[in-house]
Amino acid sequence: QASQEELKAAYRRLCMLYHPDKHRDPELKTQAERLFNLAHQAYEVLSDPQTRAIYDIYGRRGLEMEGWEVVERKRTPAEIREEFERLQREREERRLQQRTNPKGTISVGIDATDLFDRYDEEYEDVPGSSFPQIEINKMHISQSIEAPLTATDTAILSGNLSTQNGNGGGSINLALRRVTSAKGWGELEFGAGDLQGPLFGLKIFRNLTPRCFITTNCALQFSSRGIRPGLTTVLARNLDKNTMGYLQWRWGIQSAMNTSIVRDTKTSHFTVVLQLGIPHSFMMVSYQHKFQDEDQTRVKGSLKAGFFGTIVEYGAERKISRHSILGATVSVGVPQGVSLKIKLNRASQTYFFPVHLTDQLLPSAVFYATVGPLVIYFAMHRLIIKPYLRAQKERELEKQRESTASDMLQKKQEAEAAVRLMQESVRRIIEAEEARMGLIVVNAWYGKFVNDNSRKNEKVKVIDVTVPLQCLVKDSKLILTEASKAGLPGFYDPCVGEEKSLKVLYQFRGVLHQVMSADNEALRIPKQSHRIDADG
């Protein structure tokens, strides 16, 4: 957001600092020439409205993008953004044939009722009866992939296999989706399976208004009993910024009318559902709280009551790695009994393990279903997950350091050269600040600080940036914007990929001040709050 005048002033200042003619030493002269050229290149980009707009929006990646040579010079930033997106779309279209969007689900149902509902007296003499029998009584596997045919047409192939108590079957489906306009799309579906006959379906999505859309799904299922038609229509509307309302009508094998309200905010997710239908009518209320922590922890609870009985569910989920989320839910119902549902989302794959514990409402089953997963999770997190993630992070950091080693070495040499070139300017700045009792940087360090006792084994990695910071002082003020400080003149990144901070000890009006700022945090000094208490 700097004005042209501010850019010119900063450019003139760097030119005075790095101009080769100001240095007689051959080595300093060579270093000054290189830094002077870098400053000149930066000014050329930022002084041109077109290249500046590209750089401000997309950084160096945008400047290196192919195709800008055909862009007219009189384009506005908004037009440049549209042009960039057009060029990006062209590149994506060239890669359509190489892209798929695989999604899959594996569900394994476990019957563990023998843990709580045992007939000890009747079977105590049967060999092997002393151990509870835990069985896998059902499994389900589904997978789908998308194959873009053109920019508007996509083919979706999906299949599933299911088995329960020794009986099973499967089906395969092919869907062709076409985006007809910015407001809607249509989809044709064809399917077949060994338990049911051919399936033909049509699905249509349409935006009616910017805040309202409708989806209609028609299907014809052929079987030995004849043709079974089905129709589902969903009307949805944005009630406000965070709330959606849905009306659903389903006609066919299980006809029903359903209305629901979903409110989703940054910290919570709330749902109310009411359904009237055959064979099930019910009402459900659910709430989910989203903690704003690094692991994206969520706790949830729901109550569902209808003709089938009443079910209470509660649980939690947490991110355990970059692409994995682990969750567990306890379900307590009448007459369903007690179940524990464990779910692992790994990228686009879902692994689901419903464990049926008992058909009755036993307090012991509820207790173990609640406490057991917590104990196992915290034990695994401490003994397996945390060490694994720490080792993985170290490997990634080491790989990043190796890939950027030559570039970082060059940055370090440039920063050290810049510090040597700043010495004379800094001396004059300090003299001027001392004369007016102004701002003098006593010491400044940049990099990784370790203050937490739990991280005492980690190595401190900081560099001295006293001279570069003093060089940025103007009229007894130092202002740094919200950007990584590794890009400042005389700075470089001493610990690639790790969290960094800037610690400054400075003197203003003869009084010592101290402040520590995060790498991307804006900083303005002097401030009264930075003052070091003389009593301390």
Cα 165 from chain centroid?
A: 40
- The Cα–Cα gap between 84 and 312 comes to 51
Average predicted confidence (pLDDT) for the chain:
84
Task: Give residue 343's pLDDT.
Answer: 94
CA atoms within 13 A on the CB side of 484: 13
DSSP for 355-420, written as a single string: EEEESS--HHHHHHHHHHHHHHHHHHIIIIIHHHHHHHHHHHHHHHHHHTHHHHHHHHHHHHHHHH
For 261-306, how does the pLDDT look when each residue is reduced to its tens digit (9 = 90+)? 999 999 999 999 999 988 789 999 999 999 988 888 999 999 999 9
DSSP for 182-218, written as a single string: TTEEEEEEEEEESSS--EEEEEEEEEEETTEEEEEEE
Of 286, 282, 285, the residue nearest 306 (C-alpha):
282
- The Cα–Cα gap between 349 and 512 comes to 57
CATH 2.40.160.40 fits 101-117+135-254, yes or no: yes
Average pLDDT over every residue of 90-104: 65
Q: What percent of the chain has pLDDT over 70?
A: 87
The pLDDT-based confidence of 58 (bands split at 50, 70, 90) is low
Which residues belong to CATH 2.40.160.40 in the chain? 101-117+135-254
Helix (H, G, I), strand (E, B) or coil at 77: helix
DSSP for 81-144, written as a single string: HHHHHHHHHHHHHHTGGG----EEEEEEEEE-GGGTS--HHHHTTSTTTTSPP-EEEEEEEEEE
Average pLDDT over every residue of 125-146: 80
The pLDDT-based confidence of 458 (bands split at 50, 70, 90) is low
Question: Which helix (H) or strand (E) is 59 found in, with range?
Answer: helix 49-63
| Dihedral of the alpha carbons of 367, 368, 374, 376, in degrees to the nearest 10 | 170
User: CB–CB of 304/284 below 8 Å?
Assistant: yes
Torsion angles phi and psi, residue 530, rounded to 5: -85, -10
For 380-408, how does the pLDDT look when each residue is reduced to its tens digit (9 = 90+)? 888 888 888 888 888 887 887 777 777 77
The pLDDT-based confidence of 189 (bands split at 50, 70, 90) is very high
Decide if pLDDT at 247 tops 70.
yes
- The Cα–Cα gap between 42 and 18 comes to 14
Task: Give residue 64's pLDDT.
Answer: 63
- Mention every residue, 6+ apart, whose C-beta is less than 8 A from residue 335: 309, 359
CA atoms within 13 A on the CB side of 466: 11
- The Cα–Cα gap between 433 and 367 comes to 69
User: CB–CB of 258/236 below 8 Å?
Assistant: no
Compute how many other C-beta atoms are within 10 angstroms of the C-beta atom of residue 285: 14
Decide if pLDDT at 38 tops 90.
no
Decide if pLDDT at 62 tops 80.
no
